[in-house]
Chain A
Amino acid sequence: MLVDLNVKWPQESYEKPAVDADIERLRATLVTLSTLGYTHVVLNFTVNHSDKFPNNIKELNPMKIDERFEDIMRGTGLKIYSRITLIIDDPSKGQSLSKISQAFDIVAALPISERGLTLATTNLDVDLLTFDYGQRLPTFLKHKSICSCVNRGVKIEIVYGYAVRDIHARRQFVSNVRSVVRSSRSRGIVISSGSEGPLECRNILGVISLIKTLGLPSDKCTKAMGEFASLVLLNGRLRNKSHKQTIVVGGGKIDVVNDIEGIDNAKNIKIVKRSMDDDFSSKPHTKKQKN
């Protein structure tokens, strides 16, 4: 599976809902990504952590993926998830994540100050740590904080969209990627597009060669877009769809990441037809052992 963990959702805050023209653009982006071979795509809604969030859980997620992109999912086999990125500036102003994380599949943190970075790396329950690659990093990244963060299971994201956009961002992107790779000792890195339009999407071959020239070992590059990124998805899905990763909703042949349609999101249950028959007595000895 090839995962893109970051496609920008065209909305800045909860007050301004997404415009239709932007959504049409987003649809084109999604189709482009599926043409380039991606199988799982995550829509990213970036919000300031100190902003006001709606109280109702149903309004917390403005994307309505099932309604808007159902035909794309059916037509191309693409699987679409939702993600929220919280811009963390002053840790004291933010609110608790537990409610916000219920409405989204993945929660990411984007620290823009040193204190925000300390909070995000130590005790914030997020799946992903990301940075603004178009600007200077908030502080010098230390091995200790980033590595402890990776050991906790939080992955670090590299967004290659900035390298496509313009030349100034590209310069900053290169130096930021270098420092992220150095501080994480090239462990636990995922690569995503962060694309705002269909022209900013790139194939895995191009992305890997770019990141490889920036100093990430080539085996980690391939994993960064496949395995590690899917682990982020798994981690995020398990947060809501399981009790502390023990019992998971749904099952059978399909796993919790790919199982979008079967699980009833509101009730958090999955109802299936009874297939594991305990009614052997009526038709004895028909079941053969699959061994």
Chain B
Amino acid sequence: MVRLKSRYILFEILFPPTEISEDELVTKKDILLSYHKVSPPDISSKSILQEIRRSLQLNLGDYGYGKVNSLLQLKYFSNNTSTGILRCHREDTDLLLTALFTISKINEITNLIINPIKVSGTIKKIEQYSIRRNAKFLSLIKADSSSVLTNDFTNVNEDDNDEL
């Protein structure tokens, strides 16, 4: 029997400030804190899925909607960290990501970006990656905010540290 192949998408919801004045100090810590906020209670698993479906219908039509919706689950979403995990069919990953690309509001909350971080075949790896990533962020925030930190988030990859 052929296994059902699926993909898991780790995403986060970013809340970028619309303006940063010139005399505001820009450090890695400030940026991290201002972008990763707690999502308001309006944003829930249900509203996110609803918005994704709406975007699918709008951009990809009945065909895309039906195709992606055949296996579309929100495996996990946490309002505290504004991160979630989506599951979809392997062939439809691009369509789903395109739908996420065009979303600009969830339930009347407009200033947000849905930022897909990682696509993986197993949910285990996604979780491990997410934990590592958050640990890195925490260490950045804990570190002295005045010092210039050169290491980037993009440097976080799978073979970074396997003890987690």
> Which residues of A approach B to under 8 Å, CB–CB?
2, 20-21, 23-25, 27-28, 31-32, 34-37, 39, 68, 71-72, 74-77, 163-164, 167, 170, 197-199, 201-203, 205-207, 209-210, 212-213
Contacts and interface: CB of A to CB of B under 8 A. Distances in A.
Contact of A35 (B31, B93, B112, B150): B31
Instruction: Give chain A's interface secondary structure class.
Output: helix
- Most chain B CB atoms below 10 A, which of A21, A163, A205, A210: A205
A24 B148 contact: no
B26 A72 contact: yes
Contacts of A25: 18-19
A68 B21 CA distance: 11
Contacts of A170: 59, 102
B79 to A, nearest CB: 20
Contacts of B16: 28, 31-32, 35, 198-199, 201
B152 interface: yes
B17 A28 contact: yes
B101 A207 contact: yes
A74 B117 CA distance: 25
The 6 A-B residue pairs whose C-beta atoms are closest, nearest first, are: A209-B97, A75-B26, A198-B16, A206-B101, A24-B19, A27-B20
21 contacts: A23-B22, A27-B21, A35-B31, A36-B115, A71-B25, A75-B25, A76-B26, A76-B28, A77-B150, A164-B101, A164-B102, A170-B59, A197-B18, A198-B16, A199-B16, A201-B16, A206-B97, A209-B94, A209-B101, A210-B101, A212-B94
